[in-house]
Structure 1
Amino acid sequence: MAQMMTAWNQGLQVGQNFGSINTELHLPPERRETPPPPFASIPFSRDLDFVNRGDILDQIDQRCSEPAGRVALVGLGGVGKSQLAIEYAHRIAASQPDKWIFWVHAGTQARVEEGFRTIADTVKLSGRNQPKANILQLVYGWLSNDRNGSWVLILDSADDHDVFYNLTGGDVSNRQPLATYLLQSRNGTIIITTRNKDLAFRLTGRRHNMIEVGPMAQKDALTLLERKLGFLPDTNVAVDLVHALDLVPLAISQAAAYIQARAPLSSPEEYLTEFREGDRKRSRLLEHDAGDLRRDGAASNAVLTTWQISFDHIRSKRPSAADLLSLMSFFDRQDIPAWLFHGMSTGMLRREYNAGDCESGISSSVTDGDADDDADDDSDDDFRDDLAMLRDYCLIVVDEAGVKFEMHGLVQLSTRRWLEVYGQLESFKQQYIKKMATSFPTGQYENWGICQSLFAHVQVALGYRPNEDTVRLWATLLHNGGWYAWSQGRFDIARQMLDMASKVCETRLGKEDAKSLQSISLLALVFSDQGLWEEAEKLQVQVTENFKTKLGADHPDTLTSMANLALTYRHQGLWEEAEKLQVQAMKIRKTKLGADHPDTVTSMHNLALTYSNRGRWDEAEKLLVQVMEARKTKLGVDHPNTLTSMANLALTYRHQGRWDEAEKLQVQVTETFKTKLGADHPDTLTSMANLSSTYRNQGRWDEAEKLELQVMEIRKTQLGADHPGTLTSMANLASTYWYQGRWDEAEKLEVQVMEMRKAKLGADHPDTLTSMANLASTYWDQGRWEEAEELQVQAMEARKTKLGVDHPDTLTSMANLGSTYRNQGRWDEAEKLELQVMEIRKTQLGADHPGTLTSMANLASTYWYQGRWDEAEKLEVQVMEARKTKLGVDHPNTLTSIGNLALTYNNRGRWDEAEKLLVQVIETSKVKLGADHPDTLTSMANLSSTYRHQGRWEKAEKLEVQVMEIRKTKLGADHPDTLTSMANLASTYWNQGRWDEADKLLVQVMEMSKAKLGVDHPDTLSCMHNLAFTWRSQGRCTESLQLMRDCVKAQQRVLGAGHPHTMLSSAVVAKWEWLEL
């Protein structure tokens, strides 16, 4: 048999075969597999540190409960989209065990297909192992079959549009985009996590189905930090740390992992300190991979690397958008103006590629290009498309109006690090400097709107260093930025910018270069406003001398620097030096430019202000009238400079007590400024403030208050709550409250102003010290003399150190402290201080200067309290006569002198002479100030006192009732001056033996005084003293003695045992106790 087969085989010969030989592999048929029951296929365990973030999970659940629900979690990489999806999946698995849950990583087509194959394997799909099986179609068919049960499909990291909309699957002839396999079924829900808003919209079909996931709320971020660390650091450190990390969950987790890995050598405090050291340190920390098992294995756990994946994708799809992102990374993260970038996509940021550029990834050249109108339109379209891509990838936030952008600080850091890797950091940094230098204008008022919108970005530029090509632009940018900051009262940042600008100019251009001198000159003005007058003087002398050498003594820039130096001398109280310089500048300008040249007129104006400081108001007035008329002719009636000279003339009128004329001019100036510049222009606000001061001088406090509130609120809105101008407004309002006797309100404002000035300007700044002095005055009126003394001593010593012993402000502090000593009955100390102030002012200002005369009047008051009436009278006569000559007979200060002399006559029993003087004062005050002016009423009260001493009680009573009623109407029933009138009327009743009426009034005064001023206020105690006498006169001896004892205890506690009032009350108690024996 075997031989036969051999022969047979040999006989079968196959010829040469030129055709194809097909072979088929026939596999045995598949056996049907039993599908498992529904279960959750979630590749990540549940996060025990998960922090629930508001209602996001509820929103997911709500969208998923809708038929064929689709929901997309959209947000920047690292904000926790996948973690929310993991938590939701685990919650559904626990609450609905009969529901299928499938997880597919959707970063690439291959991974999506891999995920669908896993689903096919999980549910044991028949035919899945066939070589030509279309897995996508098989899974699609299974998911669409209601009999297979309900399901949730999670597509994680679906960031790339091409993954879902390029053709895929099956034979070439029947390939479909992946998106077509994402069915809409009432039986299932699809959850997508993505960084791409546009893709999210296309996959879900509705904006309603998109949930934006941003950084965490602070409380959630702190909870996450605590859970990741296992403890919560110091609250301030924890808050600062999570905000430094932009509240991004991945960054917080990464930081916690870094700290834990290096414990105990690292701590949250040390991490935060290191993080703040600069971009390089921050980048190193944020490139640390935290190794989170709940993130896809292909995804980085370092937040910077995570974002740089998005950057690479944008660069490959739209290079101009990558350029825009690169430039924006150098700005401050908030309020990036859109107008800065219009036209940049095809112009300023035109890309030049070669093969190497495409490989390395980032365009290198930045060029300026001209374009026609069509090109501009195309450029705007390109710009909008670039923005759309950056917004869709959640890298920027665009405001509703589309005019401002915002970026996360860490995204900016990541972008800069990305640029550094590709060697493009320096190129874009220099482009940023160019862009800002050419966009940021000078600090003049008309530019403030633009300056305000860009200033935060200029501050950022301060930290960047220019190269040789951009160094001059950078210095110009800092100069203009410093100019604007100075105009806004932001002196610290102005000083920093101008110091840097001047140093760069000096190094690059030389100390004598005009740009260097301009920055130094502006820096000197900043020093001056900071009260650093010696530093300002030093710089201004330097600038003036350099200008003289370089440009000549009569060059306009030299003369301007001389004017600035004179201004500093004026601040220092060096008025002779200021006047000398101003006269010199004025004469040169008259000769060089002509008498009516604007610069000459400005010199005359400045000289007039110095005359005003020196109390030479007639000379000041003469010059200011001349200036005003010249400006009216040369510039026009409504020119700002004309209005400024009118405003200063009004101030001179005010100093002269010519308040009606001052008011008339100020109203005119204010209304013109409103029309010309606007109601909220700084010059308008200044004129309103000046007008309110005139109202205050006139005793029209309600009108003053109304204006001051208005000015304060506008300045708060326009300049900020801590701007020096705003603080001045608050201080002015406090002064008005003070005059109204609203001391609690005044105190509250003054404390606020003082603290803000300490923080803003420094504890020893002249304005801060003025605030302290004002607050001390309020304490003084409240009878809080110890507190007043403490503040006054502090202010005085600081002024001595800062300004010098003979500076006008120092002398004012000494005079105020002298008044406090006087009220405390410390007359020897008061006298010593007042003599010192008087002598210095005589030497410095002259014997007839208003300040000197005020010192003499204060010293006379101290003599008066000591009963040294001859010395008091001698000084008062001297002051009165000097004021008559210097200020005029009807000047308010002259009238005060006459009134003080009358009081001295009163105490000496020279009542006829006192009456004559007081009648004269009253009549003049009525004409000059008005019948209801506070000074007029004070004079009337003093005249009634004279009548009382003369026993002319009916006349006294009539005047006192009149004064009291006017004060009630004008000031209010509980104003301290009103209470004084009531007490005076009670004294008249008492002298007439009308003790019941006196008792009734005094009880009323005492109760109101307790409520208004406090139980321990000296005026309240004086009222107790007088009431005790009234009760004694009524025969209520026991009650009167007890009240006087209570009065003595309070006076000992408040005034001290040695105070004259205390000693008087003590003597009365002793006498009454003796009478009781």
Structure 2
Amino acid sequence: MVVGPSFAPPTISAQTWANKPSGIAWLRDLFPYRRYGARVLSYEYDIDTLTAPGGPAATGIYDEAVKLVNELQADRYIQDAERRPIVFICHGFGGLLVKRALSFSHSRRDARVEHLRSIFRSTVGILFMSTPHNGITKQSLALGEFNQYGGPSQFLLSLLEGSEALQEITDQFAPLMKTFFIYNFWEQIATSFGKSRAFIVDRTSAAPSWSDVDQCGINSTHSGMVKYTSESSPGFRIVLATLDRYIRAADSTIKKRWQKDAELLRKDRLAEFEDLIQSQHPAGSVRSLGVSGSDSATLLDSSAISETEADEVLDGEPSPSVNVHYLVHRRSEYFVGRLRQSDELRTKFGTPKRKRRRKPDIFVIYGLSGSGKTQFCLRFSEDNRHRYWGVFWVDCSSEANANASFALLGERAGKGQEIGAGQEWLSRSTDPWLLVLDNANDPEMDLNSYIPATGNGHVLITTRNPNAKIYSTIGYFQFRGMDPEEAILLLLNLAYPGSEPRENKDASWNYARLIASELGYLALALKQAAYTIRRQLLPLERYLRSLLGCRKALLSRPILQASADVNIIATYELPFTGIATKSSIEYRDAVDLLHVLAFMHFVSIPEGIFSRSSDSFKASKWSSIRPAAIVEPRSSQGVGDRILAAAKVLYDHSIISISDIQSTAHDNVWRTPSSTKLFSLHPAIHQWARERLSNSEQRQWLECTASILAHCVSHNLETSGRAFRQLLLPHIESCLSLLEIAHPKLPENLEQCSVIEKFGLVYAENGLWKRARSLQLKVVEFRTKHLGKRHVETIQAQRGLANTYWNLFEIAKCLEVQHQILITNWWTRPAWQDWLTWPPWKPVHIPYCIALDDLTRSLWLAGRRELSLRAGKRAVDGLTNRLGPDDPLALNAMFNLARTYLHIGELEKSYELLEVVLEKRTRFFGTEHPDTLMAMNEMGMNLCAQRVRLDDAERLVSAALRIRKRILGEEHAYTLWSVNDLSKVYCEAGRYQEAVEMLEEAVPIVRRTLGETHAGMLMTKSNLARAYMLCERWGDARPLLELLCEQVPPETPDWVHAQYGYAFILVHDGDLGEAEARCDAIVEKVGETGVLAMDSARVLATADLLYKIYRAQGGRDADLARLKERFPHLGREQAERARSIDLIPLKPVRRRTTRDLDDGPSN
């Protein structure tokens, strides 16, 4: 039996198992070892070396485990007892040492070291006496005595719950557990530490829920549970019985294991030998093929090329040296080392090739926070930039941030910010690219959705989650600390820049060695420690003791969640404590600033947030915390100056980084041309800054941050601030996610309502309409309940919700909300004079007219054109009279009315209004304002419907499309709208094939961005079907229209359009009976629902087609008479009547097809 001490000096190690007052050592005095013929060996190790600061924290357990195996094997070899069964009895840490030792012994497979495997082969059972399998608690470690050190060392921290070192030991031991008898014991009496009491190892750690393992508590303290004085001592009889059972089973068990393990090794070595022979003489070799001479040389050479190498030979040329896209932030200058891994990664990826598409190669880097994963990727990106056409960086700290990063990537590609646009762009690229998915730490996030399916690319993933290795296709690295010597040099070079390199015997080198070891050689912690020393906040020789003392204090605080975090936290807690104790304005502001930044996203926080929000924030009363830097200055410039001064303090203490950003994307009203400062924090620092606050403080600062973000957003959403609001998205998402956790029933008050309403506006402006809808629904519900449905803020929220419904094409819900707003505004009039209008049931006050204008637009989209016309006329009259013809609200009403005129065929009236709107919007807003582009596009479609000035029509719609592509991106819904409209112009101009090509290219984009059943997809398919028909590609048009007839709701004009188009094709194919049925269904549906007027262009065209069918069939005189009675126009020239934007694409084909029908009945 082998026993080992717990944490005790080696000179008294025997007392781990002996009762001090009586001197009884139970293994010597109580256990009948002579009866069993047992040898009792006590293994001793120097616990001081392990636990002292600067000790071998990273390798300590492994080194001692190797030593235990070697010494035990040597002793047994000398005694000629290598096959003698072993029972380990382990107390506390000794159990971890034995687990690691058995894993090491089991790994010795080679014949040259197989003798060390004898320890594994001979072990029959293990008694774990309060072994911390899952680690010890912070409380028990904090209560310990650290003598002259002042705090726990890195080694002791590695024993805390959640430790990576403990998890590694568990993972290695788990496959061997079924091999041994195991009994887990735990202490049942807490140990006294002065006035405090605590369990050294709690039950959950000492006795994990392992299957088929005995476990029992012992009614004693951690120390007393292995010091029995008599057979009646608590736990002794259970231990004795367990040992007796193990000893009785030992001989047969170990004999079988030696035989079985020897046979297993023999088979493994035989398989390895066969694999080696096979690799040297493959079955498909030249000799087996029977080929000789020059042919054999050719086959041999080709077979030697690997699949990867063959791809490189066949698929392209070496990558170009010109890098076009580099969307990567600047790396920190302090980063050094890991050159070997960089070279290995470059080899793994191989040489990028041009003009090649296949599945991308994926490499994963996982490890501790602060271990340099991100900086390594930044360095690799920078060093290999010349090898790639594009290098792209995606923040995967959350799904929202990943989507935002890809939105920026899609915008850079000119595809817009729609979800999937960036990935699609990369998947289609044949030029080599590198994509970095950084901080992908959430195990619930599916990274496959962010990895392009194809493309000529390499993907790097950084994560703290080791399970992310499953995404790797070519390998992975595990990052822990730096190389020790590199770490020491980094610390000294940053702490004393410009100094000469130090020799190993230098005193400063030794101090640096201890500090680097205690910081786990983590680059981020070393950098912060160096800056603290450099600024003389703490001298080098005093830094270690302060660090250890800070660690001890942190153990009693909830901020320390895992042992891996303590090095980062402690190195930042030290300088921040110095900042917080100073009373100058900039230092007090720095503390407040860090607390605000802690609740935003950790990258690219615009300094302008604070200056823009200051005025309205001062008037707000929600936040109980009011940062002085925001409320005390009298001007926004003063706010900016104080914020920058506070940021400089944090920057000088290496807590944040500050960068400049200059907008160079597009020089237009959408962009903010001026430069601004951006603040960023390392993710680990960001987490520390938030978690160092108490729960109540976190709630207060969270509300303060949310209020600041909301107050820098105006309800008017001026287009000049669009670029700035786009920068807010990740910070809004970060803040909102925390708000939803803190307030599950958000919103809980009117102030929270205002905050999330502003957040919803920003989401909607950036096309995130579903996210906006979820917030706006909450705001409407809360305000309706607490303010009433007639309150102006309730109506404001309802209007925002209706606009979101409109953009989501949820038209029924949109109309329902807008109708409620209209009724409310009918009853709620601003002044008593508004009741004196005549007639009184037709009010003209401004809110009512705005509601009418909103309905005009929605009724138009719903196809209820007559109602849209009536509402539009009243809206234009009311707003023009009240506000004047130049007011933007009046121009909006004119535009919506003009669009309705266009789609009911009153083209001249539409043109007159559009001409006025386009001229004034261009003059007031410029040519690139979204409202101007809308008017420009509609003016082009009006000319197209009139079939006059088609060159001007094309120029206007093409200009709108070009600008929308540049500003919104190629895949934005409004850009795709312009694509559809331009296809109609092409069709009218006879350029049918061009229309087909642009629509075929648009269909997969619309499918990916909007969905298969979205109204935008139905519109695109409908236009493509018409273009096919004009190209006489009837076989392509028919399945499209069949599908549209099934998908389009029957209550809309689009259903009529789809049915008419399908009937038209049926006529062409000679299926006059089915075509007649479709036409009859159209006429009947229109008569029942009024979805279109009976004299609308599409209904009249349907009657025309039905008339031709009757005539072609012959013998339908009675049906023809009834049809003429209902539609008197039949048989006359329809040129003027048929002018409609909905009908023109089929006009040339209609003439050609109906002319064929006029020739007589169909065969």
More helix by share: 1
The TM-score normalised by the length of structure 2 is 0.45
Structure label with greater radius of gyration: 1
Higher relative contact order (CA 8 A, sep 6+): 2
